[in-house]
Amino acid sequence: MNTIQRNLIAGAMSLLGACSDKQPQRPAQAVPTLKVEALQPADRTVYQTFAATLEGRQYVEIRPKVSGFIDKIYIEEGQPVKKGQPLFRLETASLTQDAEAARAAMNVAQVEVDKLVPLVEKEIISQVQLETARARLQQAKSNYESLVADIGYANLTSPLDGYAGNIPYKEGALVSNTIALPMTVVSDINEIRAYFSMNEKQMLQWKLQNAQSDTAASGAKDTEVELIMVNGAPYPHPGRIAVINNIVDRTTGNISLRADFPNTEHLLSSGSSGRISIPTSYQNVLVVPMTATVDLQGHKMVYVLEADQTVNARPIQIAAQTTTEYLVATGLEPGVTIVTEGVSKLKDGQAIEPVRN
């Protein structure tokens, strides 16, 4: 091997040795820039909604007290009616004949009594015979008055101002007080009653919240509520809780309530449905955006910014929620700063570059 070859090999070995002494460098991890927010107490109103069924203030089924064929129908379905307005008339020919016979029998009994009175006064017959005749007269009068009342019952009138419902029977149909369906219903819808229910936990929470807001639990029945109609739009007039049944239904575990709404425009219909929205007010509560929380083993967590610009995961308890925020019951204190974005990729103790809102 000549001198030139030896020099080349030595240079190559020197180069390889120099390369082997250098270790690979890992790129430094970038510190994320994330938005943070300092929490301060605020006031919020949270709405709970409950499915409701709507009924008119009065809802009366019209049923006959006597049997008979429908002779006349005076109204149309859905027609407004006034109290005392005729609705139906039943055929009364047979009742009229019976009433005439009963009146004749009553007259005969009266003649008998009139005949016996002077005989008793002259002591020709005993007082017992007169009292017996008077009893027969009273019985005849009762029979006649009962038939006259039945004839009156054959004319069915509206018991209230309202609207007539469906009329399942037509003229000529035989009806009685045992029919399955009423002849119609009359509903007063100037005021609508919305019936809904809460479970025990919801009721207790609602009462406690009312107590904290200087409203007695029993006074919760005067709470102003909103009705969401079937089309999803809010009803333009507020209502108030009118009835709270504080007895828990053992079958469903629910407590029934009723809210009343004015309905002078007749926008709402009896038998319809909707949702009751009940407001609950919270004062001086800490509020965090839903986007600032992560779920970890069934717990809500937020990342709190520490003084050294690292984050610390902290569990929180939720008192209530809106569509975009959580109202914090415990776990945070006023003035604490939390991360409000990108929290799903953060780790406990990680450093960040905070951007304050």
What is the tens place of the pLDDT at every residue in 194-234?
Answer: 999 999 988 888 887 766 654 434 446 678 999 999 999 99
Is-above-0.75 flag for pTM?
A: no
CB 70 within 8 A of CB 173: yes
- The answer to whether residue 151 scores a pLDDT higher than 70 is yes
Q: In this predicted structure, what is the pLDDT of residue 338?
A: 95
- CA gap 9, 297 in Å, rounded: 64
Q: What amino acid occupies position 223?
A: T
- CA gap 9, 327 in Å, rounded: 75
Token pair 């000549």 in the structure block, residue: 2
Q: In this predicted structure, what is the pLDDT of residue 106?
A: 87
pLDDT level of residue 15 (50, 70, 90 thresholds): very low
Q: In this predicted structure, what is the pLDDT of residue 149?
A: 80
**Which of 234, 259, 244 shows the shortest CA–CA distance to 202?**
244
pLDDT digits (tens, 9 = 90+) for 260-305: 999 989 899 888 999 999 988 888 999 999 999 999 888 899 999 9
Token pair 């319809």 in the structure block, residue: 272
Number of neighbours of residue 235 by Cβ within 10 angstroms: 19
Token pair 């809500």 in the structure block, residue: 300
Task: Write down the architecture of domain 33-44+283-356 according to CATH.
Answer: Beta Barrel (2.40)
Can you tell me the mean pLDDT for 154-168?
Answer: 92
SS3 76: coil
> What is the DSSP-derived secondary structure letter of residue 148?
H
Q: In this predicted structure, what is the pLDDT of residue 214?
A: 46
The DSSP result for 52-73, as a single string, is EEEEEEEEEEE--SS-EEEEEE
266 in the Ramachandran plot: left (φ > 0), alpha (ψ -120 to 50) or beta? left
**Residue 316 bridge partners (DSSP):** 300
Sequence-separated (6 or more) residues with CB below 8 Å from residue 331: 302, 314, 315, 316, 317
SS3 44: strand
The DSSP result for 155-218, as a single string, is EEE-SSSEEE------TT-EE-TT-SS-SEEEEEEEEEEEEEEEEHHHHHHHHHHHHHTT--GG
pLDDT digits (tens, 9 = 90+) for 87-140: 999 987 777 777 788 888 888 888 888 888 888 788 788 888 888 888 988 998
CATH 3.40.50.12780 fits 48-57+192-281, yes or no: no
Instruction: For CA atoms 104, 105, 106, 111, give the dihedral sign.
Output: positive
- The answer to whether residue 38 scores a pLDDT higher than 90 is yes
| Residue 340 main-chain phi, psi, to 5 deg | -110, 0
pLDDT level of residue 326 (50, 70, 90 thresholds): very high
SS3 38: strand
CB 195 within 8 A of CB 270: no
> What is the DSSP-derived secondary structure letter of residue 65?
S
- The answer to whether residue 147 scores a pLDDT higher than 90 is no
The DSSP result for 297-320, as a single string, is TTEEEEEEEPTTSBEEEEEEEEEE
Tokens of 159: 């018991």
Q: In this predicted structure, what is the pLDDT of residue 233?
A: 95
- CA gap 150, 94 in Å, rounded: 11
Token pair 């959580």 in the structure block, residue: 326
- The answer to whether residue 75 scores a pLDDT higher than 70 is yes
CATH code that applies to domain 64-185: 2.40.50.100
Domain ranges (residues) in the chain: 33-44+283-356, 48-57+192-281, 64-185
CB 235 within 8 A of CB 267: yes
**Residue 187 bridge partners (DSSP):** 59, 163
